[in-house]
Amino acid sequence: MRTVLPGRSSPIPGTRVPGHSRRPCDERGGSCPPRERGGGPMRLLLRANAHRHVGGACWEVAASPDTPRRERWQWQVCLLAGDRGHADAPSPTALRVAAPLPGGTTVEVAADPLTVAPAVEVLDPGSSPTVVRTDGELVVLIASGGRVLVEERHLLADADALVLAGDDPLVVGVRRPDGSDSRLAVVRLAPVQDSALSWVP
């Protein structure tokens, strides 16, 4: 059964679809080692139909780790449809930040406040803004309400996401490639003090 989130142009299945798995844009083959602060460059393109349905009207875009029973939970990024209150988080002390998106969808970030400082903002790509990351910061870009072009080469459709980590690029340009009224959610995950943000895509 396929479920459509409000404002989405394509259906989101409850499970990942073959051929649309999460894959690094700059790597080929094999599994990826954990990503930590100060590592090499990494871009991970997450198509909308690869987001994990975690119950009700909630889709998990990315999380660290995605198996919290095995490792200490750090953060998660979710898309919520309609008037759902919050996504379930493994920690009762999770710090939450959220922002509304077109079509009644909300992007919500939950994080362990001892290791991660989360923030979220929504940009209008019509003005061709620049997204600047600080050293050690992990950024998740999520298109909403239409298409967004990142770095003049990554075309994000509605609800697609691009994860940027490592030491390059620290500055990326974004723009709206057509006449839609798209928006771009910019989720920032910064390490607290000397903590390292690790993630296995």
What's the CA gap between 113 and 93, in Å, rounded?
8
* Distance separating alpha carbons of residues 100 and 6, to the nearest angstrom: 12
Give the torsion sign (CA, 26, 50, 131, 126). Answer: positive
Percent of the chain with pLDDT over 90: 56
What pLDDT, on the 0 to 100 scale, is given for residue 160?
98
Note the pLDDT of residue 12: 32
Binned at pLDDT 50, 70 and 90, residue 158 comes out as very high
Dmax of the chain from CA atoms?
45
Q: What CA–CA distance (Å, rounded) separates 4 from 13? A: 8
- Judge contact between 62 and 40, C-beta under 8 A: no
Give the C-alpha separation, 58 to 2, whole Å: 14
pLDDT tens-digit series, residues 48-71: 999 999 888 899 999 988 665 667
How many Cβ atoms sit within 10 Å of the Cβ of residue 194?
Answer: 7
Residue 111 burial (C-beta neighbours within 10 Å; 0-12, 13-18, 19+): buried
- Is residue 182 predicted with pLDDT exceeding 80? yes
pLDDT of 103 above 60: yes
What are the chain's domains? 32-191 (2.60.120.10)
Query: What's the CA gap between 118 and 139, in Å, rounded?
Result: 10
- Could you tell me which residues come within 8 angstroms of residue 24 by beta carbon, excluding any fewer than 6 positions away? 32, 42, 43, 44, 201
- Is the confidence at residue 110, as pLDDT, over 90? yes
pLDDT at residue number 39: 54
Indicate the residue type of 23: R
Cα 171 from Cα 74, distance rounded (Å): 25
Q: Which of 8-17, 77-86, 106-115 has the lowest mean pLDDT?
A: 8-17
- Could you tell me the pLDDT band of residue 193, with boundaries at 50, 70 and 90? confident
